Amino acid sequence: MALALGFLQGLLHGPIKKKMHWYSGSSKKTMSSQEIGAILENSRELDRLRKDQEGVLSDINKIHKKLQIS
C-alpha cells in the first residue's frame, strides 16, 4: 500500500510517463497507461469521498456543540 501511495505522489508531483516500473521481491513489473489511469481515477474518487467525509464530520461537530449548549 505504501508503494502505491508513493507511486501516486510521484505521479502527482512529476511528469506522467507512459510506463512506470517498480520492484516487487525479485521481479520487475511494468504498469500500463491504462493501469496508471485507473489508479489516478481511484485516487480522485478517494479524494472526493474524503472531502465528503470531512463535511459530514463538520456537520456532526456543529450539531454536537449545539446539543452541549442546550
What predicted TM-score, i.e. pTM, was given to this entire model?
A: 0.53
- Mean pLDDT score across all residues of the chain: 79
Q: How many whole angstroms separate alpha carbon 9 and alpha carbon 13? A: 6
Q: How many whole angstroms separate alpha carbon 38 and alpha carbon 42? A: 6
Position 1 pLDDT exceeds 50:
no
**54 is written with which cell numbers?**
470531512
Q: How many whole angstroms separate alpha carbon 41 and alpha carbon 46? A: 9
- How many structural domains compose the chain? 1
Task: Count how many Cα atoms sit within 13 Å of the Cα of residue 10 in the half-sphere of its side chain.
Answer: 12
- Which pLDDT score, from 0 to 100, does residue 10 have? 61
pLDDT digits (tens, 9 = 90+) for 40-52: 999 999 999 999 9
Query: Residue 31 is inside which H or E element, if any?
Result: strand 27-31
Domain range enclosing 35: 2-69
Position 30 pLDDT exceeds 60:
yes
Band of the pLDDT at 70, cuts 50, 70, 90? Answer: confident
